[in-house]
Amino acid sequence: MNAWILGAGEWDAVVDLNGVLADPGDPNRLRGVHDFGDHLHPNDAGYEVMAEEVAGCF
């Protein structure tokens, strides 16, 4: 789904939050420093990175 959203060209802009939160060694997992502990949701540091990524689009 993420690849389709990023590559479809249907939107004026897309923010790839998976790209900034993913573990470089395993892109299907959250990077440890961004993981709340359930391997699914970001922690406070992860949300901060997400906010910075969105803010960088403006």
Query: For 1-58, what is each residue's pLDDT tens digit?
Result: 888 988 998 888 889 999 999 999 998 899 999 999 998 999 999 999 999 999 988 7
Residues 6+ apart with CB under 8 A from 18: 2, 27
Distance from C-alpha of 19 to C-alpha of 16, rounded to nearest angstrom: 5
Per-residue pLDDT, 1: 85
